[in-house]
Amino acid sequence: MNKILIINASARGEKSHSRDLTKLFIENWSKNYPEDYFIHREVGLTPIPHITDEWINAAFIKVEDRTEKNQAPLALSNELVKELKDADVYVIGTPMYNWSIPSGLKSYIDQVMRINETWKFRSGKPDGDYQGLLQGKKLFILSSRGDAGYEENEINAHMNFQTNYIKLIFSIMGVKDIKVISLNNEEYGGELFAKSQREIHQAIQLLK
C-alpha cells in the first residue's frame, strides 16, 4: 500500500486543465492500485505563505540546537515536509504561468526545500555537493501549457522554467524517478488542443 500526495497548483478551479489531469491520474491509479490511498495538498486556491526572515533564521538553526520556541516559525513547513517524507508517490498538477510555475507552488517549494530535512550538503559544508534526503520516491509532473515545443531540443525549450525547475528541485531533494506529462496548445484550442488532450489522457492511463 502506497501513499500518493496530490499537489494542485492552479489558481483556477473547475476550468483548470491541470486539475483535470490530476483527477484523471487518481481515477486511473485507483483502478490499477486499489489499496493505495491519496492525500491532497492545495497550493493554488489555498495559497502557501511566503517564507520570512524569522522562517529563514529558524530553518538554519542546527538540529541539535532546535527548541520548540525557535522552531515556531516553521510549523507549516514541518507539516509539509512530513507529508513529503510520509508519501511514496508525488503528483504535481501545475499550469505554466509566464513560462514558469504559479507563485503558490514556488512558495510551497520554498517551504519544503529545507536544509537537513529534505536535503543537505554531503560534506556538511556549503560546497554545492547536495545530498537529497527523500529517497525511494516517485514524482509525476502533470503540466498544462498554452503553447508547445518546451521539451529538450524543441523550439521553446530555452523558455521552460516550469517542469525543468520542478525536476531540478526534487532531484536535489533526492527524487530521481521523475516523469513529466504535458498538455500543450491550450491557447490555440480547436483540434490542435483536442489532439493534445487525447494524447495526454492516453499517456496518463499507461502510468504505473
Band of the pLDDT at 196, cuts 50, 70, 90?
A: confident
Contacts 24+ apart (CB under 8 A), 150-157: 150/96, 150/182, 150/184, 151/182
pLDDT band of residue 193 (cuts 50, 70, 90) is confident
pLDDT at 186: 83
* pLDDT of the residue at 206: 82
CATH number at residue 32: 3.40.50.360
pLDDT band (50, 70, 90) for residue 133 = very high
Q: For residues 89 and 117, what is the distance between their CA atoms, to the nearest angstrom?
A: 18
Q: Please provide residue 14's backbone torsions phi and psi, each rounded to the nearest 5 degrees.
A: -65, -25
Looking at residue 93, its pLDDT comes to 98
161 pLDDT band, cuts 50/70/90, is very high
Is the per-residue pLDDT at 5 higher than 90? yes
| Residue 27 phi, psi (nearest 5) | -60, -45
The label of the residue with cell 497550493 reads 43
Rounded to a whole number of angstroms, the distance between the first and last alpha carbons of the chain is 14
Nearest alpha carbon to residue 85 among 134, 42, 39: 134
Distance CA 176, CA 167 (A): 9
b/e per residue 53-65 (b: at least 16 CB within 10 A):
eebeebbeeeeee
Q: What is the pLDDT of residue 130?
A: 93
Instruction: Supply the pLDDT for residue 205.
Output: 83
Q: Are 47 and 110 in contact (CB under 8 A)?
A: no
Backbone angles phi, psi at 141, to 5 degrees: -105, 115
Helix 190-205 crosses helix 17-32 at what angle (to 10 degrees)?
30
Residues contacting 126, CB < 8 A, separation 6+? none
Residue 168: its H or E element: helix 163-172
Number of domains observed in the structure of the chain = 1
- For 162-187, what is each residue's pLDDT tens digit? 999 999 999 999 999 999 999 998 87
Distance CA 53, CA 118 (A): 20
Only one residue has cell 525543468, namely: 164
Q: What is the domain range of residue 163? A: 3-205
Provide the 10 A C-beta neighbour count for residue 135: 11
Q: What is the pLDDT of residue 11?
A: 94
Are 145 and 162 a contacting pair, CB within 8 Å? yes
pTM over 0.85: yes
pLDDT grade for 10, boundaries at 50, 70 and 90: very high
Amino acid letter, residue 173: M
- 26: exposed, middle or buried (Cβ count in 10 Å: 0-12, 13-18, 19+): middle
